[in-house]
């Protein structure tokens, strides 16, 4: 174990490196060793550092282009920037020409299980929340202490900076907030709900939202007529002008951070509606992902009788207990790619569990599923699995 004596020796070595190595050129380092005993030479100190101490791990974050130069606080968006750099400075396809890459970097992940306090300290220094999500980091290995002549380092740094700056511009563009054209799936007839069709990769469209709305009488009658004549088809509402969702939902100031940790044993949905009509919408907690929603779902009498107006107003949570979401990711990117046996389709029965959702209606990830694993065993009102019939349709986004 490392004791006080070892720590004192390490401090002495670091001070010697700062004093005798960092200010000198390569030639001066070699010349200063002439005539010295082996144990006093600087080259002996450099060789004794070992390969592990020559591996540099570093991570990136970026600022918004606003007047305050606000730091990004989304771990996934910081990881997105780091991945952008890795894609430009590493070989990830057999079709790539390695001679076209000026220098190469490798990468790794700092998970909470393996890196613990170290990972959280990295996040703190980057201005990111110190939560349990993994942090994507870059690393390089110093193969020789002498690649510093002929302006080598500055040339490498300039190219690295250009790649990072390109990535920052991309991150700012994909995270810009403001008005846009938005699209919702319409559900219900006695009470009407709008289920927003989000996109993880655009700040203007990132926030999942479910709205209970009132339509003017003529608009509602037109909608009900269309719904009754086309019960299996999704009906969309599209804004005719650009609107800012952050003006509708104040909690959307920066958008909800996206987690890469989805549920392993089930697939979670929001359950909402009126006491006569219930609807479900997939909880988007993992990227990449797909939106799944269904209107007018039918529950067995037992869970249906446990739901009341309070659940209708606040919403509840529902899990497809035989659909392990994590192992199914990523989902197909278009309906044409769906297999015939795809799990989500109209008129199909699912085994589900329903439970109270302790979160407020405005709550956002992270943490939407924390503590719910145990509650999955505490059903409303008795511990049996229920059958849900889905009358809705699937939309892949």
pLDDT at residue 2 in the model? 60
Contact predicate 178/205, CB 8 Å? no
**Buried-exposed string 212-234: b where 16+ CB fall within 10 A, e elsewhere:** beeeeeeeeeebeeebeeeeeeb
Distance CA 62, CA 171 (A): 8
Instruction: Say which residues have a Cβ less than 8 Å from residue 55's Cβ, sequence separation at least 6.
Output: 139, 140, 141, 142
pLDDT at residue 246 in the model? 67
Q: Which helix (H) or strand (E) holds 29?
A: helix 26-32
**Buried-exposed string 7-16: b where 16+ CB fall within 10 A, e elsewhere:** eeeeeeeeee
Taking the whole predicted model, whether its pTM rises above 0.85 is answered as no
Sheet holding 106-110, edge to edge: 55-58, 135-141, 106-110
Let me know if 62 is exposed, middle or buried by CB neighbors in 10 A (0-12, 13-18, 19+).
buried
Contact predicate 125/58, CB 8 Å? no
pLDDT at residue 386 in the model? 38
**What is the 8-class DSSP label of residue 40?**
G
pLDDT in tens, the chain (397 residues): 567 888 888 888 889 888 988 888 888 888 999 999 998 998 888 887 765 556 788 899 999 988 889 999 989 899 999 999 999 998 877 888 888 888 888 899 998 889 988 899 999 999 999 888 889 999 887 666 566 666 777 788 899 999 999 999 999 998 887 788 888 888 888 888 888 888 777 777 777 788 888 888 888 888 888 888 888 888 888 887 787 776 666 543 444 443 434 567 788 888 888 878 888 888 877 666 777 888 888 887 766 667 777 776 677 888 888 888 877 777 777 777 778 778 887 778 888 888 777 666 556 555 556 555 444 434 333 333 334 444 333 333 3
- Determine how β-strand 267-273 pairs with β-strand 235-238: unpaired
Nearest-5° angle of CA 371, CA 373, CA 374? Answer: 85
What does the CA dihedral 23, 25, 28, 33 come to, rounded to 10 degrees?
A: 80
At 271 the three-state DSSP class reads: strand
Contact predicate 357/367, CB 8 Å? no
pLDDT at residue 163 in the model? 94
pLDDT at residue 144 in the model? 63
**What is the 8-class DSSP label of residue 100?**
G
Distance CA 353, CA 317 (A): 8
Tokens encoding 391: 């009358």
């Amino acid at each position: 174990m490392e004791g006080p004596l070892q720590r004192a020796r390490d401090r002495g070595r670091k001070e010697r490196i700062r004093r005798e190595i960092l200010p000198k050129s390569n030639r001066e380092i070699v010349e200063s060793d002439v005539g010295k005993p082996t144990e006093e030479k600087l080259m002996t100190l450099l060789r004794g550092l070992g390969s592990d101490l020559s591996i540099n791990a570093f991570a990136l974050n970026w600022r918004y282009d606003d007047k305050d130069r606000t730091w990004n606080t989304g771990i996934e968006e910081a990881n997105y920037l780091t991945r952008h750099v890795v894609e430009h400075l590493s070989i990830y396809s057999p079709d790539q020409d390695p001679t076209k890459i000026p220098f190469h970097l490798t990468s790794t992940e700092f998970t909470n299980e393996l890196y613990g306090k170290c990972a959280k300290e990295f996040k703190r220094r980057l201005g990111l929340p110190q939560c349990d999500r993994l942090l994507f980091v870059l690393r390089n290995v110093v193969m020789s202490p002498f690649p510093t002549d002929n302006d080598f380092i500055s040339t490498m740094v300039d190219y690295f900076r250009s790649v990072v700056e390109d990535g920052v511009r991309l991150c700012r563009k994909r995270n810009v907030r403001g008005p846009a054209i938005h699209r919702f799936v319409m559900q219900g007839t006695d009470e009407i709900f709008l289920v927003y069709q989000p996109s993880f990769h655009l700040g203007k469209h990132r926030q999942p939202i479910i709205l209970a709305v009132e339509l003017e009488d003529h608009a509602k009658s037109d909608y009900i007529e269309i719904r009754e004549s086309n019960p299996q088809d999704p009906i969309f509402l599209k804004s005719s002008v650009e609107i800012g969702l952050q003006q509708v939902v104040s909690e959307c100031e920066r958008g909800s951070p996206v987690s890469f940790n989805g549920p392993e044993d089930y697939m979670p949905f929001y359950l909402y509606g009126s006491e006569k009509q219930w609807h479900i919408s997939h909880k988007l907690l993992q990227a990449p992902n797909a939106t799944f929603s269904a209107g007018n779902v039918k529950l067995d009498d037992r869970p249906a009788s446990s739901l009341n107006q309070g659940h209708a107003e606040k919403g509840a949570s529902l899990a497809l207990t035989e659909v392990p979401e994590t192992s199914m990711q990523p989902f197909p990117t278009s309906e044409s790619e769906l297999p015939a046996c795809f799990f989500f389709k109209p008129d199909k029965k699912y085994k589900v569990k329903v439970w109270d959702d302790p979160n407020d209606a405005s709550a956002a990830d992270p943490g939407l599923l924390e503590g719910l694993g145990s509650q999955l065993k505490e059903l409303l009102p008795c511990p049996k699995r229920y059958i849900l019939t889905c009358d809705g349709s699937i939309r892949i986004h």
